[in-house]
Amino acid sequence: MDFEKIKLNLVTFLQDAKKMTGAKNLLLGVSGGLDSAVVATLCTLAAPQNTHALLMPTNSSNKQNLQDGLELCKTLNINHKIINIDEILTAYQSQIGENLGNLRKGNLCARIRMSLLYDYSANINAIVVGTSNKSELMLGYGTIFGDLACAINPIGELYKSEIFEFARFLGISENIIDKAPSADLWEGQSDESDLGYSYGVLDGVLRQIDENKQNLSLLDEKVSDKDLLKSVLSRYHKNRFKAHMPIIARL
């Protein structure tokens, strides 16, 4: 891949979006993970003095992720704030009178973080920049109105396996690149454990889906692992609605 061309195109995309919306700043959530590190780097190239970030851990978040996120913000000279969301989670659980399981808590964390980003964006006249890659978007691996929500997304056409290569091209710390992908929604959570396969394996099937989306029956010939194909197609079909605006009934 021509990563220099991709970088220039994505930086221009961010600059054009900022100009089109009239926003003064770009704002993203920085998790200490790979995708947000790539997006943060692109944002600082597009708007060096006008990139802002929120770091929003819980008490159970991986401490190394917070440290890596802080180091990234300092290295890139990003205006940043840390907001621990544990008290918000506790207040929510108290109000509904029950403890949340991992899935509900993970979704709630994602939506709290996006609420904070949009509230802060209004305060600093910023546009919210998304950090979901193409693999996550095709699989629907994310929280609708949570981490999948944003105004613009510069990496939504890059598969996760390509993000690793792009990150090295951008000079992102190996500490971030070498970590196992995780949304850090609960202690010990791992993307690839949730999905059942590595991103390298998943991306091979997702590319085939993208190339043959007009005739998905061709995939039976192209993907030998039928359990893998069934798993990926199930997620792809079930979660496609997450990638679109709400469906409005026609009268």
Two tokens, residue 142: 């994310």
Which residues fall in the annotated binding site for Mg(2+)? 35, 136
CB atoms within 10 A of CB 171: 8
Enumerate residues 6+ apart whose C-beta is below 8 A from 55: 29, 30, 31, 32, 66, 69, 70, 73, 80, 81, 82, 83
Judge contact between 72 and 173, C-beta under 8 A.
yes
CA torsion angle 81 82 88 90 (round to 10)? -170
SS3 87: helix
CB atoms within 10 A of CB 177: 15
Which residues fall in the annotated binding site? 29-36, 111, 131, 136, 160, 182
Which residues face 126 on adjacent strands? 25
Which residues fall in the annotated binding site for ATP? 29-36, 131, 160, 182
Pairing of strands 51-55, 126-128: unpaired
Which residues fall in the annotated binding site for deamido-NAD(+)? 111
SS3 75: helix
Give phi and psi for 249, each to the nearest 5. Answer: -65, 140
